[in-house]
Amino acid sequence: MTNSSGTDVLRGTLDLLVLTVLAAGPMHGWGISQRLQQRSRGMLEVNQGSLYPALQRLAQKGWIESEWQVTENNRRAKYYRLTRAGRRAVGVETAQWRRYVGAVELVLDPAVELVPDPSEGRA
């Protein structure tokens, strides 16, 4: 997955984004890719070389399952959907992502001063 400047996005990020898209309902691979691009206002483009390994990782974790169906264009495609464990994982993974982003923001924001740990300095 790349953004418009061509930089790689972390693998775990793609897994979370795919889970989030599938929370809206079953979708085939191309549809997942398109939905990610739409929701990111064109900033994120997911190619097949990134998407399908992510789908395999999520299936191995038991977070998604798939089945072959016929698309609106009368073609066969594998549709992916969240499992019960996958629905739980969306919340857990989202919370972990937000904690991570918050920590990165603390490092990037020069206005944030380090607050000493109150337990330090005690004898």
Each residue's pLDDT tens digit, 30-42: 999 999 999 999 9
Query: What are the beta bridge partners of residue 41?
Result: none
* pLDDT given for residue 9 in this prediction: 42
Task: Give the number of other Cβ atoms within 10 Å of residue 28's Cβ.
Answer: 18
What are the phi and psi torsion angles at 50 (to 5°)?
A: -100, -40
* Token output for 89: 């994982």
Q: Are 47 and 1 in contact (CB under 8 A)?
A: yes
* pLDDT given for residue 111 in this prediction: 78
Say yes or no to pLDDT of 1 above 70.
Answer: no
**Cα 114 from Cα 16, distance rounded (Å):** 30
CATH pick for 2-108 out of 1.10.10.10, 3.10.20.600, 3.40.50.720, 3.90.1150.10: 1.10.10.10
| Global pTM value | 0.80
**Cα 57 from Cα 89, distance rounded (Å):** 13
* pLDDT given for residue 41 in this prediction: 96
